A and B are shown apart, each in its own frame.
Chain A
Amino acid sequence: MPRHAPGPQQSGDVGLLRGTLDLFILKTLSWGPMHGLAVLQWIEAVSKQRLQIEEGALYPALHRMEEKGWLEAEWGHTEAGRRAKFYRLSTGGRRQLSAELARWNHYAEVAALILEAREGAT
């Protein structure tokens, strides 16, 4: 199989911060069961195509989260009638999502305070 190096990043696009992919997946799936491709498409659409993700990385993440019990997986059919593996958030996943969200918001607030601080501020 030929290897494809990721392309040069366009200016304005952001890479993925470590650990945030899990959070995005949880958030995405909180809207309902989806297969992997749909998860990606949803993130792309919401981030207005500005998030650069190595798409393949999604799958190890999905499987890891399934093993942790945050996701439940089931084979089903798409509207077009193709077989696909659908993931849904479990109760544990929902709890994880809210914990992660709280943590993320807290982090973002603190980060913003630091980054926006002006000299001389107390």
Chain B
Amino acid sequence: MSEGERRWSLRRVFRLPTTRRRLRDDVEAELAFHLDGRVEELMRAGMSRGDADREARRRFGDYGRIEREVEEMTIKSERRRTLRDYVESMIADLRYATRSLARQPIYVVVLVLTFTLGVGATAAIFHAVDRVILHPLPYPDADRIVYLGTRWGKGGPTGALSAGRFQFFHDNSRIFDGLATLSPIEATLGDEDAGFPVEGIGVTPEFFGVLGAKPFLGRALVARDYQPGAPPVVVLGHDAWMTRFGADSAVIGRGMRLEGVLYSIVGVLPTSFEVAELPSQPTPAFVLPLVFAPNQLSDRGANYTAIGRLRRGVTREQITQDIASVFAAYRRQFPELVEKDDAIVPMTFEQIFAPDLVSQLWIMLGATLFVFLLACANVGNIVYARALTRAREFAVRAALGAGRARIVRQILVEMILLGVVSTVAATAVSLASVRGLVALARGALLRESQLHLDPRVVVATTIVALAASLLIGLVVGLAATRAGFTRSLVGSTRTSGLGGSAAHRGARGVLVGMESAIAMVLLAGAGLLITSFWNVLHVDGGFRRDGIYTATIPRAPRDYSKVEVSQQFERRVLESLRETPGIVSAAATATLPLRRGWNLPTTVEGHAELTEGATEWRSVSPGYLATMDIRLVAGRDVSESDVAASPPIALVSEAYAKKFLSDANPIGRRILIGCYKGCPERHPTPVEVVGVVRDLRDMSLDQTRPRRTVWVARAQADGHFATVPAFVVRANDPAVASSALRRAMTSADPRIGNPTIAAMTDVVSASLSWRRFSMVLMACFAGLALVLTCVGIYGVASYAVSQRVQEIGLRMALGARPAGVVALVVRQGATPAAVGLLVGLGVALLLTRVLSKLLFGIGPRDPLSFAAVSVVLLGVAVAASYIPARRAARIDPAGALRAD
């Protein structure tokens, strides 16, 4: 026997896996056998050894080539065989897994549900994060889009420029391929009286280039459309083209009337065109050229979103430098339009349009990751439990020759199967919940087109879900097979090695501890947010909510810009309302609480230094303060005698009085409204302060500081401050209030259409939508966490009871009382949860700080909230182990001892 042969036989004895080396040796041996045989044969025929050797090789042919050829063939076929074996055993495993899962539908449902909720919640929030933060813009090369914003002094920047500054940056900045702005336009399509309202936009020449939009038909707006005296042209939105022009491709060149003016249609936008900068109206019906009038260019108001498309390769430093130098030039050229500490800053889309949402979404993403971890822990726990109950099955398979790897693989295959099912379900859940998220956020940010299923998110979800299920399968498989499961074959599962089952309990205890720690963190967050929501909802805003009903006009007729017309309308409505039985009182205002208001610069007369650029400005009719229960601190309310002909009066808020009029009694002082630093060149009429109004939370209920506010009489408004009135009534019956409002308004002027009527309580509720968004989400997560933890604790406790039937029976036979048994089991079940709770408490104390911005009237470490959620969690832990404990207490000692 040659050395080589001995090696093979050894391999055969030890069943070593086929190696490439061994395959080569086999081929060599086979060919050598042939040559040796021939040599012997030739030598028997009388040849010398050398001759015989040569002759044998000659007859054999090209030995090297043949050896190589056979070797390659063997290796290839071996590879194919291995693969086939693998696939076959995999299919067998899958079949086996399907069968064994099908036998336990409840197990499958619980597992898939747990996993689906965990993965689905994460995917949904990730989807929102992706759409809102990572890829908010629907434009090509969106990473080159940058916005210019204005910063006044120390405050946060506003994402807009004044028309003059926009134009100057457009003309002088060197970092952009294009800089554009837009302005929404409401217009009547057709003739002024017989048309219907549509919403469109006016845009500057580079707008389409900046957005990367190409027209679907015809052309976009070009430079010559902006020349003075150019014929009026319009680009149609896709929807408007479809609905108003029957998708007629011959529409180009035809005329279209807007507000009675005839425009010639030059193009149609593609269906994909969206203006992300107008989230409430992303698909305009028409696009017109926007040209600034000279007086607009000297207006300081930052009213224009400046969208820039950067040149390729522009760096951050270049952006900063360019902005600084261009703004310095602007300052030199228009010193009267720039304050000392004004600045222009680059901004991102989400900074401008979703500043609050961004931080909230990150927090929610963090929370879902906790939910995901918790779901994984719970799935692991359940799988582990099942693996233990299958100890006998595994033992039999091991005895029949299945290695540990084989059994782990079996668990893995089941997990993959469950993972696939869960992924499909999770995708559906995430889709549904993204819609839910939007409903919750009241459509404020996500556009309809952003709801579509994103393949990247689906792929990510699938990968995460499968990876997680594989990992769980692997960890649980290894852990469950570690503690000598072969022993199970000898005894029953119940009596199989005490050490083993203690180790199993330990591993599951860790999982349960982890679950309760995570649940604790989520519960703490939810507790804080819910308390904050409650606090905001019940904070005293300084105005009445109950029994107050508000009405606004969606679109005022154009002639309402004339003071006489709108004042006449207002008078008629108020007269009619005050005559209506059931209406306690009625009043008019320019600004409803918690709605966007107006602000104007103010100066105390004779004190150019007692001035600010943005004082809140409220214009109200007599009776407004009384109707809304807004308290006067001093002086008098606006009265019926404050009319255009009488000396102008104003009321100021406490905060205003404190800041600017604190040196003497504010009543009787005179201030200039619409005037920054006194504006000596304009000589505005001073108004006399006749009253001081309590500070309100009327910007938002959770506003941190009261805003300085001036209140003026609507009847004294001059042409410049004419505003469309909104109405408030106090009534006991909502139906009476809304029908009275509707009737009074439409009969006063039928042209206003259908007024928007809302109860003040609903206005309050709507103003809290963001807060509700994060609160409801967090509460859902915490609820889910509580349920999952409950399942986990219950599972471990009932397993422990089933393991210890005999021991418990023995204790009871020796005189243990049922109450003692219950206490024993509950203690054991709740202990890991309690340990996890403590750990979670620590983590929560560290983490809740990120919620600070969302909290109201409560600290991020509020002891009461933490205590409350601890009690809840502990209660759930005790309750979850109480059920198996009761079962343990009902064990019949005699029966338990006789078993086995």
Contact = CB atoms under 8 A, between A and B. Distances in A.
Interface of A: 1-7, 35-37, 40, 54-57, 59-60, 63-64, 66-67, 75, 82-85
Interface string B14-30: 00000000000010011
Contacts of A35: 33
A3 B64 CA distance: 9
Contacts of B36: 82
B490 interface: no
A2 B60 CA distance: 12
B76 to A, nearest CB: 8
Interface stretch (B66-74, B85-93, B479-487, B694-702): B66-74
A41 to B, nearest CB: 8
B33 A83 contact: yes
A102 to B, nearest CB: 28
Given A67-B77, A82-B33, A83-B33, A60 B58 contact: no
A56 B30 contact: no
Contacts of B598: none
Contacts of A59: 30-31, 34, 66, 70
B33 A84 contact: yes
Nearest to A5: B58
Contacts of A63: 70, 73-74, 77
Contacts, number: 74
B61 A37 contact: no
Contacts of A60: 66, 69-70, 73
Contacts of B62: 3, 56
Interface string B28-44: 01110110111000000
A7 B55 CA distance: 10
B406 interface: no
A6 B61 contact: yes
Given A60-B73, A84-B33, A85-B26, 20 more contacts: A1-B64, A3-B64, A5-B58, A36-B30, A37-B34, A37-B38, A40-B34, A55-B38, A55-B59, A55-B60, A56-B60, A56-B62, A59-B30, A60-B70, A63-B74, A67-B77, A75-B8, A82-B33, A82-B36, A83-B1
A59 B31 CA distance: 8
17 contacts: A4-B58, A5-B58, A6-B59, A7-B58, A35-B33, A36-B33, A40-B34, A54-B61, A55-B34, A56-B31, A56-B62, A56-B65, A59-B34, A63-B70, A83-B29, A83-B33, A85-B30
Nearest to A38: B37
B54 interface: yes
A2 B58 CA distance: 9
Shortest 7 CB-CB contacts between residues of A and residues of B: A4-B58, A56-B61, A56-B66, A54-B61, A37-B37, A67-B77, A56-B60
Contacts of B69: 60
Nearest to A81: B1
B1, B30, B57, B74: residue with the most chain A Cβ atoms closer than 10 Å? B30
Contacts of B73: 60, 63-64, 67
Contact of A4 (B26, B33, B57, B77): B57
A84 B58 contact: no
A70 B589 CA distance: 97
B141 interface: no
B722 to A, nearest CB: 94
A84 B57 contact: no
B57 A2 contact: yes
Nearest to B33: A84
Contacts of B8: 75, 83
B68 to A, nearest CB: 10
A1 B63 contact: yes
A37 B33 contact: yes
B5 interface: yes
A68 B467 CA distance: 39
Contacts of A4: 54, 57-61
Nearest to A4: B58
A99 to B, nearest CB: 23
Nearest to A58: B34
Contacts of B1: 83
A83 B64 CA distance: 22
A36 B5 CA distance: 18
Interface string B151-195: 000000000000000000000000000000000000000000000
Nearest to B68: A60
Contacts of A56: 31, 60-63, 65-66
A58 to B, nearest CB: 8
A56 B38 CA distance: 12
Contacts of B74: 63
Contacts of B33: 35-37, 82-85
Contacts of B30: 36, 59, 84-85
Nearest to B36: A82
A83 B5 contact: yes
Contacts of A82: 33, 36
Contacts of A36: 30, 33-34
A100 B774 CA distance: 78
A62 to B, nearest CB: 8
Contacts of B64: 1, 3
A5 to B, nearest CB: 8
Nearest to A3: B62
A81 B34 CA distance: 15
A2, A36, A54, A83: residue with the most chain B Cβ atoms closer than 10 Å? A83
Contacts of A3: 62, 64
A92 to B, nearest CB: 15
Nearest to A73: B30
A82 to B, nearest CB: 7
B476 to A, nearest CB: 41
Nearest to A35: B33
Contacts of A66: 77
B1, B29, B37, B74: residue with the most chain A Cβ atoms closer than 10 Å? B37
B620 to A, nearest CB: 95
A4, A6, A64, A67: residue with the most chain B Cβ atoms closer than 10 Å? A4
A60 to B, nearest CB: 5
Nearest to A84: B33
B26, B34, B36, B69: residue with the most chain A Cβ atoms closer than 10 Å? B34
Contacts of B70: 59-60, 63
Nearest to B64: A1
B823 to A, nearest CB: 69
A114 B37 CA distance: 43
A35 to B, nearest CB: 7
A66 B78 CA distance: 12
A7 B59 CA distance: 8
A6 B1 CA distance: 32
Contacts of A67: 73, 77
A85 to B, nearest CB: 5
A55 B63 contact: no
A66 B73 CA distance: 10
